[in-house]
Amino acid sequence: YLIERAKYHDVGLIFEPSLPDGTLVGARKGSGNFTIRVKGKASHAGRDIQSGRNALVQLMKILTEVEALHGARHDLTVNIAHVNGGGALNMVPEHALGRFNCRLATVDDAVWVQDKLNEIVNRYNADEGYEVDLFGGITRNPKPATDANLNLQEFIKQTGSMLGLNVAFKHTGGVCDGNNLMQSGLPNVDTLGVRGGNIHSSDEYMVVESLAERAKFVALILMRMASDEFKFLRDVEKQIEN
């Protein structure tokens, strides 16, 4: 929905939390979630282990190669996050499942990762007695620091300085709705929410004082966007499009 609607707007403002010191995110990696499913053959581990096909062992071999993709290209990361398989200790596991996440810096990296994963899975799928399937894909493309986004960031910095805020931007590996908006070419700032840290953990926190700070900041951004002060950014975007 956001990717489609972004085509009809000039700019996006998203209220993800900023970094603890108030720094905003300027560019983001892309992200994708994958699942590998392995089917082997069950057998008794004592009487007939040789006729079994251990799906869990096969999955471990596959995931070892997947993990080797981590760092194979600049800023490419792989996080193997969940493995499930096996059961009774006297049975050769027939089924195994592995889930992992990939983060990448460019769209070319997304194509490269998908090709490599397909290559790995196809190779192990050729082993007698095993079936290997790959599910998932890259669901969010990277959000690069385009010219239009850099111009918007400069506008945000200028606005912050009017309130005595020293606004800075940095790249991050996290993804958010800003990635989706950028997929349609819409410049956006996606960390205008409160200051905080340790997100996605039991120690996540918010800096209470930043509630009023951010409310004032965003109010001034909107006021300036509603005035002629924002016209320069629209003009720059049109020049880029042309």
What is the reported pLDDT for 25?
95
CB 55 within 8 A of CB 40: yes
DSSP H helical segments within the chain, as ranges? Answer: 2-5, 55-67, 107-125, 147-161, 177-183, 210-225, 231-241
Q: Phi, psi (5° rounding) for residue 241?
A: -65, -35
What is the reported pLDDT for 73?
97
- Residue 165 pLDDT > 80: yes
Contacts 24+ apart (CB under 8 A), 155-158: 155/224, 155/230, 155/233, 156/24, 156/189, 156/221
What is the reported pLDDT for 104?
97
**DSSP-derived pairing of the beta strands 12-13 and 77-85:** unpaired
Q: For the segment 14-59, what is each residue's pLDDT rounded down to a tens digit?
A: 999 999 899 999 999 999 999 999 999 999 999 999 999 999 999 9
The structure tokens listed for 75 are 């800023």
What is the reported pLDDT for 1?
80
Label residue 150 by pLDDT band (50, 70, 90): very high
What the chain holds in terms of domains, given with CATH numbers, is: 2-29+143-241 (3.40.630.10), 30-140 (3.30.70.360)
Label residue 10 by pLDDT band (50, 70, 90): confident
What is the reported pLDDT for 232?
57
Label residue 3 by pLDDT band (50, 70, 90): confident
- Residue 126 pLDDT > 80: yes
What's the full length of the chain, in residues?
242
User: Average model confidence (pLDDT) for the chain?
Assistant: 93
Q: Which DSSP string do the residues of 124-144 spell out, in sequence order?
A: HHTSTT-EEEEEEEEEE--B-
